[in-house]
Amino acid sequence: PLRGVVHAAGTLHDGALLRPRWDDCRGVLRGKAHGAWALHALTRAMDLDFFVLYSAAGVLLGASGQGAYPAANAELDALARVRQRMGLPALSVAWGAWENAGMAVESQVQGRNAWSGRGLGGLSARVAFDGLDRLLHDGIAHAAVRPIDWSRFPAQPVAGADRPYYRAVAPSGPPADSRSGQGPSATDLPALPARLLALPAAQRREALVAHLGERALGVLGLDAGRSVDPRVPLKEIGLDSLMAVELRNHLARSIGVALPATLLFDYPTLDALAGHLAGVLGLDPEATG
């Protein structure tokens, strides 16, 4: 007899939600969400020991460019709660990125890991299945399994992260900003313009370029100590259209000014970007060159 179900199917179709096409969303939803409901319908009369759905931590992180995929995973979370209300076994696990397996491998092979620089580690099989065993034992309907370095994660927030959730589960150790619940990171606070203006005019441009380079490397998942030529287009070191939107969001928060979605297309190098933002921030002409 069938004793349990593990639903681990998934398909990605990344893209900014500016001009969505239903065909793209349908392909993502079919295997993940519709497949889960099909399995539920086929087995709800059976006496199963477990019914496990593989969701993803992007539901809680707001992963850039993955509008349809988190939506499909949210359906799994909802289905798990529905099944438990029906008295049926159910567990939906929002997995973080697995080490050497899963959909995150391709970006890691390409040398990009946008999460590791923010304190979000990879899951070893041992840690993952230990977590799964514990959740099944506890009868949880929905939970996330993801290693987090709390000394780094609050200081480099993800644009779409579910902040109330992370504030609720964060340990009490790292200090948090009383207004946002995030760790105090000078590069993420709107105080950046004031700090630049406090510098001698001749140093402002260099400090602004350094800030832009730091944020770009973080989005690209590259080593923070890497040198970036301010005259080279960022797309030549791996910045794609989705990362460009994410970087724009980081910069908008750090300077406290709304920025256009086309920012990185209009100003593709750190040098050009710094020149534009210097004007936006009202820095002295002497500083902008």
List the beta strands (DSSP E) in the chain: 4-7, 50-56, 91-95, 142-145
One-letter amino acid for residue 78 of the chain: A
Distance (Å, whole) CA 228 – CA 269:
10
Distance (Å, whole) CA 101 – CA 109:
11
- Where do we find the tokens 């001749």? 202
- Where do we find the tokens 């380079």? 213
Distance (Å, whole) CA 114 – CA 74:
22
> Is 263 within 8 Å of 277 (Cβ atoms)?
no
Distance (Å, whole) CA 164 – CA 176:
13
> Is 21 within 8 Å of 39 (Cβ atoms)?
no
Helix (H) or strand (E) holding 60: helix 58-61
What Rg, from alpha-carbon coordinates, does the chain have?
22
Which pTM does this prediction carry?
A: 0.53
Write out the chain's pLDDT in tens, 289 residues: 899 999 998 776 565 555 666 677 777 788 888 999 999 999 999 999 999 999 887 767 665 556 677 888 889 999 999 999 999 999 999 888 887 666 555 554 444 455 555 667 788 888 889 989 989 988 889 888 888 777 666 655 555 566 666 677 677 643 444 333 333 333 333 467 778 888 888 888 898 998 898 888 887 877 777 888 999 999 888 888 778 877 887 788 777 777 887 888 889 999 999 999 888 887 754 444 3
CA angle 119, 122, 123 (to 5 degrees): 130
